[in-house]
């Protein structure tokens, strides 16, 4: 069986700034495909998403606050069913989101999925390689634009600055599904992995003065989901425990340092006939040791979350409304202590970030859609860099985001 991928058409359909990523995706598609004896053994899919985004009042996308085409996503994924209980899959993407995350080519996942045990009550799977994050409500779908509820996911939980690390990492995962005739369905998941952090990614997190090496040392995650019998609800609990280490260069604004991050999640989702209600709550404890000086220690616990309603209107329109809140320190929700300890250099509005979002998704055809949304934002706690905030370009407490994106997939 010979499989062909229309690279020329694909590359011509994207913007000039994204063609480098499109070429790499096409190269992967045409040179590394697994071929099976049956056509159903292999599945190939891809997407092209291009949009315009305008941010008024912050450097969320760019520093000049002008409308930007830095809303590009290209992806190609393949899945090969080697045998009844063994599958291989992977996805390559090209992203350009301005200051939101590092521009360029990424391998989101490249893994082996082994169905280790199956009967009428249990299904157990082992994943090895560059695994996906299945623990949060939208973590397994955030890497494909047409499967997300909005162009920009809630920043209170799905922080763009750590997108590449949050999608997945190199390691392993074990999942177990249990089907109960009395209680409903349960999903148990554990995973351990780490991600390579580039110099550009380190600067997004730490600030432009960072020129050392930031390493992701360890990451353990677990979750359990429950769909009660006879209801349309699904509830989840998740936990992340990660550590990072920074090694300074000879000329560096930072000293050596360690960062420990522990997150706990609670989420729920209700699926109605033509509407969906979802929520997710987050508490994250962050501990910094070093960075500012050899004796510097900082501990704080942030809290955030969102509530979201999606409504299907007619046959091809989905409307969205969302409210979200985030506090960088649950004991300093107004940011007053933050401003006081920095002698006013970091304003109070860096202590919180609250958003109201409306949006719409319009299906043009079965594989083309347009997404539109607008955000009203109060506060800047989720803007980058994280360790050393930049109040010079983020001096507005109130700011807004407008975005439109067209998505094609195959």
What's 334's domain CATH number? Answer: 2.40.160.100
pLDDT, tens digit, 9 for 90 and up, residues 314-360: 999 999 999 999 999 999 999 999 999 999 899 999 999 999 999 99
Number of structural domains in the chain: 1
Compute the Cα dihedral for 49, 55, 59, 64 and give only its sign: positive
Residue 141 domain flag: yes
Domain assignment present for 328: yes
3-state secondary structure the chain: CCCCCCHHHHHHCCCHHHHHHHHHHHHHHHHCCCCCCCHHHEEEEEEEEEEEEEEECCCCCCCCCCCECCCEEEEEEEEEEEECCEEEEEEEEEEECHHHCCCEEEEEEEEEEEEEEECCCEEEEEEEEEEECCCCCCCCCCCCHHHCCCCCCCCCCCCHHHHHHHHEEEEEEEEEEEEECCCEEEEEEEEEEECCCCHHHHHHHHCCCCCCEEEEEEEEEEEEEEEECCCCEEEEEEEEEEEEEEECCCCCCCCCEEEEEEEEEEEEEEECCCEEEEEEEEEEEEEEEECCCCCCEEEEEEEEEEEEEEEEECCCEEEEEEEEEEECCCCCCCCHHHHHHCCCCCCHHHHEEEEEEEEEEEEEECCEEEEEEEEEEEECCCCCCCCCCCCCCCCCCEEEEEEEEEEEEC
Low-confidence ranges of the chain (pLDDT < 50): 1-38
Residue 38 inside a domain? The answer is no
Q: What is the pLDDT of residue 362?
A: 98
pLDDT in the model for residue 210: 81
- At 34 the pLDDT is 39
pLDDT at res. 6: 44
Q: Is residue 78 in some structural domain?
A: no
**210 within domain boundaries:** yes
Assigned domain for 220 exists: yes
pLDDT in tens, 103-141: 999 999 999 999 999 999 999 999 999 999 999 999 988
In a domain, 123, yes or no: yes
**Would 1 be classed as within a structural domain?**
no
Domain that holds residue 292: 110-409
């Amino acid at each position: 069986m010979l499989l062909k991928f229309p690279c020329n058409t694909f590359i011509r359909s994207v913007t000039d700034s994204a063609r480098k990523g499109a070429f790499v995706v096409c190269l992967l598609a045409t040179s590394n495909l697994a071929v099976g004896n049956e056509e159903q053994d292999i599945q190939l899919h891809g997407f092209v998403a291009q949009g315009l985004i305008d941010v008024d009042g912050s450097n969320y996308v760019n520093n000049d606050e002008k409308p930007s085409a830095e809303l590009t996503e290209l992806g190609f994924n393949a899945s090969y069913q080697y045998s009844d209980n063994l599958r291989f899959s992977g996805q390559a993407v090209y992203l350009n989101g301005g200051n939101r995350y590092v521009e360029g080519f990424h391998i989101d996942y490249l893994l082996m999925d082994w169905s280790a045990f199956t009967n009428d009550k249990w299904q157990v799977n082992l994943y090895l390689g560059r695994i996906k994050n299945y623990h949060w409500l939208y973590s397994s779908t955030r890497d494909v634009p047409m499967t997300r509820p909005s162009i920009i996911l809630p920043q209170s939980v799905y922080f763009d600055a750590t997108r590449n690390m949050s999608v997945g990492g190199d390691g392993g995962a074990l999942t177990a599904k249990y089907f109960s005739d009395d209680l409903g369905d349960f999903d148990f998941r554990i995973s351990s992995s780490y991600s390579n952090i580039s110099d550009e990614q380190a600067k997004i997190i730490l600030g432009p003065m960072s020129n050392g090496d930031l390493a992701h040392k360890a990451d353990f995650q677990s979750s359990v989901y429950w769909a009660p019998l006879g209801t349309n609800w699904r509830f989840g609990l998740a936990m992340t425990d990660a550590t990072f280490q920074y090694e300074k260069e000879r000329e560096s604004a930072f000293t050596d340092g360690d960062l420990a991050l522990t997150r706990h999640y609670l989420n729920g989702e209700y699926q109605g006939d033509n509407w969906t209600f979802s929520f997710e709550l987050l508490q994250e404890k962050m501990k910094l040791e070093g960075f500012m000086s050899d004796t510097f220690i900082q501990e704080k616990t942030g809290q955030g979350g969102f509530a979201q309603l999606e409504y299907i209107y007619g046959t091809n329109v989905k409307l969205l409304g969302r409210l979200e809140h985030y506090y960088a320190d649950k004991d300093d929700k107004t940011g007053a202590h933050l401003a006081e300890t920095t002698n006013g250099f970091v304003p109070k509005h860096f202590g919180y970030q609250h958003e109201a979002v409306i949006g719409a998704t319009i299906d043009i055809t079965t594989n083309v859609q347009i997404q539109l949304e607008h955000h009203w934002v109060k506060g800047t706690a989720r803007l980058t860099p994280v360790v050393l905030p930049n109040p010079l370009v983020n001096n507005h407490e109130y700011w807004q985001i407008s975005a439109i994106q067209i998505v094609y997939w195959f």
